[in-house]
């Protein structure tokens, strides 16, 4: 008996070049064959693992990795020997439970869930934009959204399946986009730059720049886009960054469900679980984080001076 997954593989072999590469009918212009994929892990360097992580961040989050995320998932990639060809992870998804767990975890994360919260057709269209900086053609949209709607593929599979079936032009653009993302993350080499790449507004600013990457972009143009992205992220509204800083540095204690050892309830009942709670307590946050730097207590969560400066900018700008 042929399994559903085997049927999908057989279908992809025939349909990927048509639906994934832009053709809608058998009469469409011929497309170059996609590169051969492999189920086998291959020896790769740490740099290769970091490149794989950047590609996964683009595929599942539509953005470059932050330094902390890059370090964490590079370790995961090294332990699991993820292949450098991200599209090949589609084939490993069906045979390697560890790969399946990683990809499903990315797809089910709060960030990916928010990014791909719409129906299957809108989700596939967003994935195309994040991967290839273009809209899907009608055939590709119907094909991939149909697989999602039927349950034949999960949201953890589709981004890497799109890469597995992509043509050379789309793959070339994805490679250039990954190169810009890699250079951007490498440029977050000061506490100030790292602190600015925090929050929804900063991520949205970066996505806008990444959307302008083209397949034939030159190294000089790539470098210019990285500088533009750094400036755009730094100029993004402080409120979104403050929300992210508070979640990372304060909510471990100041929450309805504290996670910091030794805290069963929020100290003095002060909670920062929601944006409204953060804004309502803006003055208290400003005094304790910026003026006295008493909080976080003992700086157990390692708030940086750059993050305190962002809180200052936010509060002195009206806490908006």
pLDDT in tens, 103-127: 999 999 999 999 998 899 999 999 9
Of 27-36, 60-69, 71-80, 99-108, the least confident: 27-36
H/E segment holding residue 288: none
- Phi and psi at residue 195, to the nearest 5°: -65, -35
R_g of the chain computed on alpha carbons: 22
Looking at the whole model, is its pTM more than 0.75?
Answer: yes
- pLDDT at residue 129 is higher than 90: yes
DSSP 8-state assignment for residue 313 = H
Of 45-49, 180-184, 218-222, 227-231, the least confident: 45-49
pLDDT attached to residue 42: 58
Band of the pLDDT at 25, cuts 50, 70, 90?
very low
The string of pLDDT tens digits covering residues 296-307 is 989 999 999 989
Q: Which residue has the higher pLDDT, 230 or 83?
A: 230
Place of tokens 């030794």: 262
Q: What percent of the chain has pLDDT over 90?
A: 64
SS3 71: helix
- pLDDT at residue 5 is higher than 70: no
> Nearest CA to 310 among 238, 253, 234?
238
H/E segment holding residue 36: none
Band of the pLDDT at 244, cuts 50, 70, 90?
confident
Average pLDDT estimate for 197-214: 95
What the block records as the tokens of 129 is 């934009």
pLDDT attached to residue 225: 97
Band of the pLDDT at 209, cuts 50, 70, 90?
very high
- pLDDT at residue 44 is higher than 90: no
Is 177:65 a contact under the CB 8 Å cutoff? Answer: no
- pLDDT at residue 74 is higher than 60: yes
Count the neighbouring beta carbons within 10 Å of the beta carbon of residue 265: 12
Q: Report how far residue 56's alpha carbon sits from residue 53's, in angstroms, rounded to the nearest whole number.
A: 5
pLDDT attached to residue 310: 86
Distance set, CA 48 to CA 58, 76, 77, 217 (Å)? 15, 13, 9, 22
pLDDT attached to residue 3: 37
Average pLDDT estimate for 175-193: 96
What the block records as the tokens of 23 is 């053709």
DSSP 8-state assignment for residue 35 = P
Average pLDDT estimate for 60-79: 95
Maximum Cα–Cα distance across the chain: 70
- Quick one: 134 exposed, middle or buried, by C-beta within 10 A (0-12, 13-18, 19+)? middle
> Nearest CA to 157 among 183, 193, 120, 208?
120
- Averaged pLDDT score across all residues of the chain: 86
What the block records as the tokens of 172 is 């070339």
- pLDDT at residue 146 is higher than 50: yes
> Nearest CA to 267 among 306, 303, 294, 239?
294
> Nearest CA to 236 among 279, 199, 189?
199
């Amino acid at each position: 008996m042929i399994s559903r997954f085997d049927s999908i593989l057989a279908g992809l072999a025939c349909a990927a070049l048509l639906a994934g590469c832009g053709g809608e009918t058998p009469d469409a212009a011929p497309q170059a064959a996609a590169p051969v994929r492999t189920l086998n892990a291959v020896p790769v360097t740490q740099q290769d693992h970091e490149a794989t992580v950047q590609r996964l961040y683009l595929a599942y989050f539509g953005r470059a990795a932050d330094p902390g995320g890059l370090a964490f998932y590079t370790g995961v990639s090294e332990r699991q020997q993820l292949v450098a060809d991200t599209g090949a992870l589609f084939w490993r998804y069906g045979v390697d439970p560890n790969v399946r767990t990683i990809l499903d975890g990315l797809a089910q994360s709060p960030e990916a869930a928010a990014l791909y919260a719409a129906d299957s057709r809108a989700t596939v269209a967003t994935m195309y934009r994040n991967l290839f900086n273009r809209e899907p053609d009608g055939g590709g949209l119907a094909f991939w959204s149909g697989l999602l709607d039927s349950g034949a593929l999960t949201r953890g599979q589709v981004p890497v399946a799109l890469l597995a079936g992509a043509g050379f032009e789309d793959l070339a653009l994805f490679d250039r986009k990954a190169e810009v993302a890699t250079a951007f993350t490498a440029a977050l080499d000061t506490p100030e730059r790292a602190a600015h790449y925090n929050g929804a507004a900063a991520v949205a600013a970066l996505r806008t720049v990444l959307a302008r990457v083209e397949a034939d972009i030159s190294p000089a143009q790539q470098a210019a886009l990285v500088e533009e992205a750094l400036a755009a992220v730094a100029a993004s509204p402080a409120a979104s960054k403050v929300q992210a800083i508070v979640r990372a540095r304060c909510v471990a204690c100041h929450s309805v469900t504290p996670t910091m050892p030794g805290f069963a309830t929020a100290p003095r009942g002060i909670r920062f679980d929601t944006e409204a709670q953060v804004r309502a307590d803006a003055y208290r946050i400003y005094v304790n984080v910026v003026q006295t730097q008493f909080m976080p207590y003992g700086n157990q969560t390692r708030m940086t001076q750059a993050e305190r400066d962002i809180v200052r900018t936010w509060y002195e700008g009206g806490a908006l």
